[in-house]
Amino acid sequence: MAEIRLQNLAHSYSRTPSSAAEYAIREMNHTWEQGGAYALLGPSGCGKSTLLNIISGLLSPSHGQVLFDSRVVNDLTPQMRNIAQVFQFPVVYDTMTVFDNLAFPLRNQGMAEPQVLSKVHEIAEVLDLHPLLTKKASNLSADEKQKVSMGRGLVRDDVSAILFDEPLTVIDPHLKWKLRRKLKQIHEQFNITMIYVTHDQLEASTFADKIAVMYGGQIVQFGTPRELFERPSHTFVGYFIGSPGMNLIEVERCADGVCFANTRLSLGAALNQRLDSLDYQQLKIGIRPEFVHLWDLPGSDLPGAESLVEVAADSDAFSAEVVHVEDLGTYKILSLNLDGQPLKVRLQEDQVVPRHRASVSFSAQWLMVYADDFLVTVDAQEARHESA
């Protein structure tokens, strides 16, 4: 069991990387605390698996260091790091029985046979593998093979950490849910650091206490599922987490706020001040479809009623054209055209669905401003003021 720290870590598969694009992992510092259940979430090709293989020692990083409990382990093999890893596709030793497969890592570290027996039975119990123990591994289904594969990862409880590389890809949906619960239980029982790589946000948020979102070889945000949802610190997090993702609109700086086309949004004083002090190429605003406020105005839903909307709503409301309504059963997705920009709004079942025009407003609490794709925060600014 160990705390895993990545220090100035970077990795490139090319021997002489010349540009940032050639790095699979861009320089990062990150700490996985002992005993945490973490998810590493990101799209295909963002460097998740590379990072995992660097932690386990299957891959040696080209820059920086990996530390286990402040001991540099760069030159240690996976055996010496005492890491368990479960891969995306099942790996079983075909000629062995399921029992021997599960016992294999234990026997390799020289554990006495009675102990092996009890450990294997313990893990077989957890994974419902008991009826299969005497079967040859080559005769199993893909599901069962993956369970055996996971079992081999979980059977050693003295490991520094267990790494999962999208372990449920080949598993049936209903079994997926069960196995995720199992993993969670095992985590609670043994208090082992677990890092779970996935591209599925649901999988990440049901398994992990904290999620690291990876994008373009970087960890762009590390936080609880709620933090990722409420305050995405990178536009990618906003877009990738949530269904549908965050509304992102490219804007320009104007007096007291931002604007696009003919629409002006005023921002709070602190945020304005912060934007003035920043140097950036591009500015975006982001708001979750769940947090867009839709005004329920009788009579405003007629063609040519814009003026009515303007007058009726408070000064922060905008009139948008309804493009499309998608009914997803428990909720509806309303697609709007707000001054040339697409805007999605998530409606609850009982909300009135506007047919032609809708009046929306953005509450300051949920309106995020992104400078060069990173969240502009005012708290940091204030903190700096206080410390100065």
Partner 1 sequence: MKVHNNKAWWLVLPVFLLVAFSAVVPMMTVVNYSVQDIFDSSSRFFVGVDWFKQVLRDSRLHDSLLRQFIYSGCVLLIEIPLGIAIALTMPTKGRWASACLIVMAIPLLIPWNVVGTIWQIFGRADIGLLGWTLNALGISYNYASNTTDAWVTVLVMDVWHWTSLVALLCYSGLRAIPDVYYQAARIDRASSWAVFRYIQLPKLKSVLLIAVMLRFMDSFMIYTEPFVLTGGGPGNATTFLSQTLTKMAVGQFDLGPAAAFSLVYFLIILLVSWLFYTAMTHSDKNS
Smaller CB distance to partner 1: residue 29 or 139? 139
Binder to partner 1 among 17, 27, 34, 104 (CB under 8 A)?
104
Residues 156-215 that bind partner 1 (CB under 8 A): none
Listed residue (215, 216, 218) closest to 237, CA to CA = 215
Binder to partner 1 among 30, 136, 253, 264 (CB under 8 A)?
136
Question: Residue 386 CB, nearest distance to partner 1 (Å)?
Answer: 48
Percent helix / strand / coil, the chain, rounded to 5: 30, 30, 35
133 near partner 1, judged by CB under 8 A: no
Show the site string, 54-93: x = touches partner 1 by CB under 8 A, - = not. Answer: --x-x------------------xxx---xxx-xxx-x-x
How far is 94 from 113, CA to CA, in rounded Å? Answer: 22
Write out the H or E segment, with its range, that includes residue 143. helix 142-154
Amino acid identity at 241: I
278 near partner 1, judged by CB under 8 A: no
Q: Any idea which residue has 């259940």 for tokens? A: 37
Binder to partner 1 among 12, 50, 146, 149 (CB under 8 A)?
149
- For residues 220 and 214, the answer to whether their CB atoms sit within 8 Å is yes
Binder to partner 1 among 26, 30, 121, 135 (CB under 8 A)?
135
Smaller CB distance to partner 1: residue 77 or 282? 77
DSSP state at residue 97: B
User: Strand 210-215 to strand 331-338: parallel, antiparallel, or no bridges (unpaired)?
Assistant: unpaired
Smaller CB distance to partner 1: residue 36 or 105? 105
108 near partner 1, judged by CB under 8 A: yes
Question: Residue 148 CB, nearest distance to partner 1 (Å)?
Answer: 11
Q: Which stretch binds partner 1 (CB under 8 A): 18-26, 52-60, 180-188, 258-266?
A: 52-60
Binder to partner 1 among 14, 29, 74, 109 (CB under 8 A)?
109
> φ and ψ at 19, to 5 degrees?
-130, 165
Q: Which stretch binds partner 1 (CB under 8 A): 100-108, 219-227, 275-283, 313-321?
A: 100-108
Q: Which stretch binds partner 1 (CB under 8 A): 39-47, 63-71, 147-155, 320-328?
A: 147-155
3-state secondary structure of 40: strand
Q: Which stretch binds partner 1 (CB under 8 A): 12-20, 33-41, 51-59, 119-127?
A: 51-59
- For residues 263 and 318, the answer to whether their CB atoms sit within 8 Å is yes
Listed residue (370, 219, 377) closest to 280, CA to CA = 370
How far is 234 from 216, CA to CA, in rounded Å? Answer: 12
**Region label for 374, one of left (φ > 0), alpha (ψ between -120 and 50) or beta (otherwise):** beta
Smaller CB distance to partner 1: residue 79 or 189? 79
Residues with Cβ within 8 Å of 153's Cβ and at least 6 positions away in sequence, in order, are: 84, 85, 86, 162, 164
Residues with Cβ within 8 Å of 271's Cβ and at least 6 positions away in sequence, in order, are: 369, 376, 378
* Interface positions with partner 1 (CB under 8 A): 53, 56, 58, 77-79, 83-85, 87-89, 91, 93-97, 104-105, 108-109, 134-136, 138-139, 149, 152-153
